[in-house]
Structure formats: C-alpha cells, structure tokens
Amino acid sequence: MLNALEAYVYATILTEGVAGTSPYGFITGATDIGMKQIAGSPGMREAGTSMTLVGAGQISLGDIISQPDLALGQMAQSFQANLAPMAIAAFGTSITFRIGKRLLRGPISNINRNIVKPALGAGIRL
C-alpha cells in the first residue's frame, strides 16, 4: 500500500513538472492544444495577424494524440524548465518515504499480522 502511494507521488511529480497536471488530469484532461490566430491591434504599424499556442498549460493524452508535435514540444520545454524542482521533489519524497517506512515498521507489521493476514490470507500485505 505504501509502495503504491509512493509511486503515485512520483507520478504526480513527473506529470506536474512535464505536463502541468496531475496523473488523473493527464489521462482524462481536455484535448485543447493548438495554434490560434490573433489579429494585430489597431495601434500597430502592421495590422497583421500572428499565431499563438493555446491549451499548452495542461497537456493530456488527448493532446498528444491529436497534436503530437505541439504537445511533445511543450512537454520538452516544461521538462527542461522544471528539471531541478522535480529532482528536489523526488529526492524529498524518497527521504520522506524511507524515514516514514522505518518509523511505521512496527505498526504496519502489527496490522499485517493481526488484521490483514487472518482476514485476507497469506501473501497480501499493507
């Protein structure tokens, strides 16, 4: 159970750093990435139009499937920008879970021995 929680925390660090959303949001998020044409303002010398990227704040699997070049390019930029914070968060998570598992070793063993094993059988642990 704790290993699954630790894995989810790592997945959250990765998806928030690279895709800007949670693992759940990455899987179920809206497919909204694309280029949008914006008209120039009237005060500009050249009243042309420009293209801007929209929907890149939160990348989802739908975005990767519909616009892989835009989505993967944005994810690469986010990865480069967030590499140090993600590494620090992963290191902190590792230390926290290592210390937490040591502190909770006795109570977890007691739960496994007295509740989980008799109720669910051998081979299943908390």
Query: What tens digit of pLDDT does each residue of 49-93 get?
Result: 788 888 889 999 999 999 999 999 999 999 999 999 999 999 999
Instruction: Quote the tokens at residue 33.
Output: 């990435």
- Mean pLDDT, residues 25-51: 78
Concatenated DSSP letters of 40-102: PPTTSSS--EEEEEES-SS--HHHHHH-HHHHHHHHHHHHHHHHHHHHHHHHHHHHHHHHHHH
How is the chain split into domains, by residue range? 2-120
* Band of residue 108 on the pLDDT scale cut at 50, 70, 90: confident
